[in-house]
Amino acid sequence: MPDALGTAVTNTVPNSCVVVQSDRLCKPWVASSQISTFLAVWESGRLNGITRIFHSDRSHIDVPVSEGFILVVYPDDRGNPTVGCGHLVLPEDNLHLGQTVSVQRAREFLKKDLRRTERAINAKVHVPLFQYEYDALVSISFNAGAGHAADELTHRVNQGDYRNIPNYIKGFRCSSSLHQRRETEARVFYEGVYDASH
Task: Check which CATH number belongs to the domain holding 179 and give it.
Answer: 1.10.530.40
Backbone angles phi, psi at 63, to 5 degrees: -130, 150
What is the tens place of the pLDDT at every residue in 154-188?
A: 999 999 999 999 999 998 876 777 889 999 999 99
3-state secondary structure of 82: strand
Q: Which helix (H) or strand (E) holds 83?
A: strand 81-84
What is the tens place of the pLDDT at every residue in 103-162?
A: 999 999 999 999 988 998 999 999 999 999 999 999 999 888 767 767 888 999 999 999
26 lies in some domain: no
Residues in the chain: 198
3-state secondary structure of 72: strand
pLDDT of residue 106: 96
Q: How many angstroms separate the CA atoms of 187 and 37, rounded?
A: 16
Q: How many angstroms separate the CA atoms of 142 and 182, rounded?
A: 12
Cβ-in-10-Å burial (0-12, 13-18, 19+) of 174 comes to middle
196 lies in some domain: no
What is the tens place of the pLDDT at every residue in 9-27?
A: 556 676 666 666 677 777 7
How many other CB atoms are found less than 10 A from the CB of residue 92? 6
5 lies in some domain: no
Pair 183, 198: CB distance under 8 Å:
no
Task: State pTM to two decimals.
Answer: 0.79
The whole domain housing 164 covers 33-191
2 lies in some domain: no
Transcribe 11-51 into DSSP letters. SSSTT-EEEEE-SSBPSPP---HHHHHHHHHHHHSSSSEEE
Number of domains in the chain: 1
- Alpha carbons within 13 A on the beta-carbon side of 119: 7
91 lies in some domain: yes
3-state secondary structure of 175: coil
18 lies in some domain: no
3 lies in some domain: no
1 lies in some domain: no
Q: How many angstroms separate the CA atoms of 53 and 63, rounded?
A: 8
Q: How many angstroms separate the CA atoms of 81 and 191, rounded?
A: 36
- Beta-sheet pairing, 4-9 with 17-21: antiparallel
pLDDT of residue 57: 81
Q: How many angstroms separate the CA atoms of 167 and 187, rounded?
A: 10
